[in-house]
Each structure stands twice: as C-alpha cells, then as structure tokens.
Amino acid sequence: MLQSSPVLQARGIEKSFLGVRALDRVDLTIRAGEVHALLGENGAGKSTLIKIITGAYRRDAGDILLDGEAIDPRDVKHAQALGIGTVYQEVNLLPNLSVAENLFLGRQPRRFGLVRTGEMHRRSRELLADYGLSIDVAAPLGSFSVAIRQIIAIARAVDLSGKVLVLDEPTASLDTAEVEMLFDVIRKLKSRGLGIVFITHFLDQVFRVADTVTVLRNGRLIDSRPVAGLTRRTVISLMLGRELAEEERRAGTAAEPDASADAAFRFTGYGRRGRIAPFDLSVGRGEVVGIAGLLGSGRTETAELLFGIEPADSGTAEIDGKPAALTSPRAAIAAGFGFCPEDRKVDGIVDDLSVRENIALALQARRGWAKPLSRREQVELADRYIKALDIRTASRETPIKFLSGGNQQKALLARWLATDPKLLILDEPTRGIDVGAHAEIIRLIETLRQDGMSLVVISSELEELVVYASRVAVLSDRVHVAELTGEDVTPDGILNAIAAAHGTASVEAA
C-alpha cells in the first residue's frame, strides 16, 4: 500500500471518567486518502477517542497533530474549523430545515443582511451533485431517507472541514443498497485525499472499504495494521482479546464437566421475531453457561428474552421440569431469576440512591410495596453484602454514583443475591472495571456456582469466559450458531465458531 503522509496523529491519549480509565495511552495515525477502521467492543474506548479528536471531550494527556502541527480542539465547532468533521449514526442535522439550510446553516450567502436563498439553493445543488445526488434542496431534510440524510451530513462535514472525516457507525441503520451508495461516497472522498475514520461493528464492511484497522480493547491500543493480509479470525481475536492477567487466571478454577447432568432451567425453541432466532438452552444447577459473540450478535437480546424484558413469542421455558411463563421481568423475578444488565449506568444502578437502597431494591420489589423492608432489615442486608462482597464504599448511605465501576457492579450483584435467585443472568459483569475488581467478580461467580446457583454469563472476554463456563453458546447475527462443551470450551474454540459463522453470514451483515 502506498504510504501517504499522516494527516492526523493522536499520541498517548489518556482520559479518565471519575477515576475509571477510559483511554490509556492510545495512539492513532490517519493518513491522507485512507479509510481507517476503528474497531473494538462496547466500552473499548472507540467513542471516547473519537470524541476527544472531534473536540466533544477534552483529553487528560497526550498530543493531537493535524498535518504535523499540534492542535487542541476546544469543542466540536473548533475541531470542525481545524478540518475535522464528524458524522454520527443518528444524523445530527435538523429535519425541519430544508436540505440547503442544513448544508449552509451559519454560513448562508447574504446580501444586505438577507440570505440569498436562490444562491444557496444553487450552491447546494452543485455540492450534492459531487455525491451523485440530484434532489430538491428546498424540501425539508426530514422528507428524505436516512441514507440520503447521511450523505447530506457527510457533504456538510466535508465542505466545512475537508481534512479528516469521522464516520461513527454510519451504516447501522441502512439497508444493503444504501450501504453500497454510502461506500461509493466514501471511496470518492478517499480519492480526493481525505483521511477517513470509519467506526463500525460489521466486519465485512471493514474488509470492503477500509485500508487500515486499529483495534482498541479496554481503553488500550491493541494493534494497528493494514487490512491487506488480515483475516477475519485475526481481527476477531484482536477485538475479543487473547491475554488475561495472571491474577484473573488464578481467580477461577476449571468448571466441573458433570454439572449439566440435570438441567434445572430448560428453554426449547425459545425466540422472538426481530430480536433473536429461536434457540435451545439449558442450565443445570451449579452450572455456568457462557454466551459469546461479537457486538450486535444477539447476546443482550438473549439475556433480555430469558428475563422477560422482551417476552418470547415462540418456544417454551421449563423450570425443574415444570413449564413457566416468563412474560415480564416481574414474572421472571417471581420464578427466581436475577439479571445484571450490560450498561449498569443506564439500566442498573439508581444514581442518587444510597448503596443500601440500591441493594434492597430487588428484594423489596419482589415482596411488593405493601410489605416494606424495615430500615433495620435493609441495614442488615446492606451490611452483610458490603462485607461479603467487599464493596468499598465510604458508608452504606453513600450515593452509589460515588463508587467506582467495580464496586457499583458488586452492589448490583448484591441486589440480586439478596433475592436469593436460582438463576442469575450477568451481562458483561466485568466491563469497564479495574483489574483487581475484575478478579474478584470472577472469584465471586465461581463461589456462587459452587453454592449451587445457576448462572448465565455474557462476556466478550473469552479467556475469562472459559475459566468459569462449562458450556458456551456462540451467537452470530442474532442466531445461536453453536454450543461448545467440554474440551471445546477454549478461547480458540470460541473464536473459530464465531469466525466460521461470520464467513457464512457475511451477505446478511453487509
């Protein structure tokens, strides 16, 4: 590949949020005329890095160089003026204004203080002609499809900035033909010498348009290399990770293979149209079943289905051989289920409530509001779990938002453990928490399993998953494509299963 000069260089970028490190000395080099794919799972630091480059966040440390000169984007507008434009998945334009007004907002051509509408429309048509669009520029933006709006957003960003274009998951809501249209635009811009950063979780698209791939994981730069010569499997293994800290490895012991002898929870042909294809899953007493797959493969959808957040429309659920109707989270909780969701900030913790109140929440919900837990019971409960799980908090009355990610996660776990669940579903329990807490969570999962609890754990950390899971269901494109047992439960085995699925399902993903 021709090595053109770097147009944008980020070096040693660091950023922390409330003591949690989101980016740890990350480098990124974008060359003129290249499409640079930025990959990583949720929470890997992609969006934080992009927001720093585009001025939405300020970095804690590191340098950003544009054309070799150090820059310090204060805000989005400043970054734009410097030459870095961004287009987000949710198009950030104004649907109530006309196409032309969107393109020229804030820089409309004027004469005597009045906007020259005709001139603005003419220039808009010229601008869009470069992108192969011939549309009525006086019509409101909202009357066009998402793909057209996406291209208009790109046209605006390029016209304003013209050096680096950041595309944040631009294809997430487009269909195949629209993606093709967008890729034509990207290739055209590439030939004009723009540096293009492309964030996506569709691997096939990476191989179709990108020249270079940079992979982030847990806020760290994993690798950056040309796409030519890379295989899908290599990229997946870079994203999901192959190394696990020694301490974490020691935290868990290998799961006993005979644990699945009697399946306490059995789901047959369980599925919901548009969310996840029907699957079979059984979890034995004292067994941990892992769920693996790339972002968007249907991991969280599976968990939400099991917990009744999105009730199943096909298949049956059995608990100890008896059919169960899991039509709502309430029903699932009554049946002895617990669920720690993926995004604990949004779905899990109640920010302003104390640690005590957060822990007591699920138990209280199960008892119903007519039978309140007394203050004394709540205190006992909270103290017991703060001690048992070693939740580090100033006091049990501290609002939970002041705790670190790992301790919030432990408080959430405590919330469900307090209800004494028979089946606990954990969605990414170790995401975004530091290494020490990581090992503790793994140890805790192991303890719960030995105590006879059934667990379903979703994780993108394969090395971690194989430590505690005796079986692993592998997902791809919202289908359970494989279930690995016994000897096959290794990081390599899981990677192979994911990569195999991606090879066959590539048409759909595009």
Partner 1 sequence: MIRSKYLPVLTTLAIFVAAYVACVLQFPNMLSTRVIGNLLTDNAFLGIAAVGMTFVILSGGIDLSIGSVIAFTGIFLAVSMDTLGLHPIVAFVLALLIATVFGGVMGAIIHYLKMPAFIVTLAGMFFARGMAFLISTQSVPVSHPFYNELQSLYFRLPGGGRLTFVGMVMLAVFIGGALVAQRTRFGTNVYALGGNMQSAELMGVPVARTTIGIYALSGFLAGLSGIVFSLYTSAGYSLAAVGVELDAIAAVVIGGTLLTGGSGFVAGTFLGILIQGLIQTYIVFDGTLSSWWTKIVIGLLLFAFIALQRGILWMSERRRADWRGVGAPA
Which residues are near partner 1 by CB under 8 A? Answer: 76-77, 80, 92-97, 101-102, 105-106, 108, 110, 113-115, 117, 139-140, 142-143, 145-146, 172-176, 178, 274-275, 478
Question: Min. distance of Cβ 174 from partner 1 in angstroms?
Answer: 6
Separation of alpha carbons 66 and 503, rounded Å: 38
C-alpha span between 71 and 64 (Å, rounded): 6
Tell me whether residue 304 or residue 357 sits nearer to partner 1 (CB atom).
304
CB of 116 to partner 1, least distance (A): 9
Is there a contact between 105 and 125 (Cβ–Cβ < 8 Å)? no
CB 427, CB 458: distance < 8 Å: yes
Are the C-beta atoms of residues 87 and 167 closer than 8 Å to each other?
Answer: yes
Nearest approach in angstroms of CB 263 to partner 1 is 30
For residues 462 and 41, give the distance between their C-alpha atoms in angstroms, rounded to a whole number.
12
Q: Which helix (H) or strand (E) holds 364?
A: helix 355-367
Shortest separation between residue 106's beta carbon and partner 1, angstroms: 5
CA distance 500 to 510: 16
Distance CA 150, CA 404 (A): 38
We find the least distance from the C-beta atom of residue 86 to partner 1, in angstroms, to be 9
80 or 496: CB nearest partner 1: 80
**Shorter beta-carbon distance to partner 1: residue 178 or 204:** 178
Closest separation between CB of residue 73 and partner 1, Å? Answer: 14
Query: In the structure encoding, which two tokens stand for residue 487, read together?
Result: 């000897």
CB of 90 to partner 1, least distance (A): 9
State the residue for tokens 């909780």.
333
Of the two residues 120 and 403, which places its CB atom closer to partner 1 in the complex?
120
Cα→Cα distances 312→303, 341, 384, Å: 11, 18, 36
Q: Is the Cβ of residue 176 or residue 398 nearer to partner 1 in the bound state?
A: 176
Helix, coil or strand: residue 56: coil
Closest approach of Cβ 210 to partner 1, in Å?
20
Nearer to partner 1 (CB atom), residue 19 or residue 109: 109
Strand ranges inside 84-155, DSSP E: 84-87, 110-111, 114-115
CA-to-CA separations, 213 to 29, 46, 225, 260, 333, in angstroms, rounded: 11, 12, 5, 41, 43
Which CB atom, from 88 or from 339, has the smaller least distance to partner 1? 88
The C-alpha atoms of residue 263 and residue 50 are separated, in whole angstroms, by 45
Nearer Cβ to partner 1 (140/315): 140
Residues in the chain: 510
